[in-house]
Amino acid sequence: MPPRRGEPSQSQSQRRRTSQHRQGTESSDEEDDGRGQAGGNAGGSKDHKVLGAQIVRLALFSEYRRQPLRRDHIVKTVMPNNARAFQSALLEAQTLLRTTFGMELVELRPKRKGDDVGEGPAQTQAQTQAQTQAQTQAQTQGRSQRKGKGPARGEDEDDELEEGTQTQAQGKKQRTNAWILRSILPGELIAAMADPAPLPLPDEVDEYTNELQGDSGALLQWEKGDGTGVGHVGLLGVRTVILALILCRNRIMDDDTLHSYLRRLNLTRDTVLPYGSDDSKEPPLTLDKYLDLLAKLNYLEKVVKPADAGPGQPPKIEWRWGSREAEFSEQAAAEFIASIVLEGEDSESEDEAPRGRRARADEEPRLSRAQKRARLLKNVEKAAGGALAG
């Protein structure tokens, strides 16, 4: 039956419905892409800044308690419905931390296992970089093959893809997705901030002792520390000595050996460390409890192994450098050792031999302070069993 005048034919109506269906599909795809792009970009730069500021706030709270900031906690707290915006928000948080607070987020390394302790962080970092490069190459090959470029895959190419997938899985295992805050302020600026500079107010000075009462006026007050129980400068010194001792024993030391060294400093297992922050509500710690707390806060790694003598004997405890080494590096520990050993030596008087006395032929030349420091740092590196990180 032919169509009436003014009515569209069947083919025209079908074409019209097809075009309307295509337009609806394209509009829905555009809306989906817009939603995905908004989800990936967090709705624009403003949302990025808001999410970055919230990550900074969460990082400051976590660092006050000396707890690592983990990715799952960030996603759950800051962006529960927009996990795709994590990377861009983290970059925004890094920029805000560096430009405003003088700090940065540093990812913790994974805990070492077994015989790879003696390799040191420098070797571990090199292995991680090699795995990252292999992972990138595997991903590039996978993309080119998925696009259909080149001939069909054979058995050899399938094996390469499987190896690339395994390498990618190993690279992911090296990531901890946990960060801590580290200061990026220069040492000279920190020393100037810690220098007392009180205001000359009459009510702050004792009229009998002529001493300052109350606030010292320093921008950075070490006596306050933090509320974790380990923020006092005295406990900071004890922790530095412990880390330096472990470093010079190939980065690992058993519990008995560590305590034998600390007894020379009148520190026994039951010694109460009389240091506490003004902001801390925790009671004083014994040396054993302090070591366990350092392990809990990732400054040390406590490894418990079965006794060599057999069952029924107490387990063997080993201490290693913890994953918070980005806060206090091995290179900083070596500099601390050099400053203690070379303290009190005059560099100018050692550059030349004393006047009026000739050096004998079999006498070794006198070393300057810089030469002694370089030799000492090299000896620390040998005692650590590898290159120093940091």
pLDDT in tens, 155-170: 444 444 344 444 444 4
Q: Report all structural domains of the chain as residue ranges with CATH numbers, in order of start.
A: 40-122+175-197 (1.10.10.1200), 221-328 (1.10.10)
User: How far apart are the two ends of the chain, measured CA to CA in Å?
Assistant: 88
Specify the amino acid at residue 311.
P
Q: What is the pLDDT of residue 308?
A: 74
CA distance linking residue 244 with residue 183, whole number of Å: 21
Strands 178-183 and 252-254, by their bridges, are unpaired
CA distance linking residue 353 with residue 48, whole number of Å: 64
Does the pLDDT of residue 206 top 80, yes or no?
Answer: no
Does the pLDDT of residue 319 top 80, yes or no?
Answer: yes
Q: Where are the alpha helices (DSSP H) in 97-208?
A: 120-146, 155-174, 187-194
Q: What is the pLDDT of residue 39?
A: 43
Q: What is the pLDDT of residue 219?
A: 81
Q: What is the pLDDT of residue 202?
A: 52
Strands 178-183 and 272-273, by their bridges, are unpaired
- Copy the structure tokens of residue 365: 């030349």
Total residue count of the chain as it appears in this document: 390
Local structure of residue 324 (DSSP, 8 states)? G
**Residue with more model confidence, 349 or 216:** 216
DSSP bridge pairs for 94: none
pTM of the model: 0.67
How much is the average pLDDT of 6-34? 52
- Copy the structure tokens of residue 245: 């001792």
Q: What is the pLDDT of residue 142?
A: 52
pLDDT band at 287 (very low <50, low <70, confident <90, very high): very high
For tokens 């010292």, the residue is 216
Residues 6 or more apart whose Cβ sits within 8 Å of residue 204: 198, 212, 213, 214, 215
The rounded mean pLDDT for the chain is 74
**Residue with more model confidence, 218 or 336:** 336
pLDDT tens-digit map of 250-281: 999 999 999 999 999 999 999 999 887 766 77
Q: What is the pLDDT of residue 24?
A: 53
pLDDT tens-digit map of 73-116: 999 999 998 889 999 999 999 999 999 999 999 999 887 654 44
Most confident option among 147-161, 165-179, 248-262, 313-327: 248-262
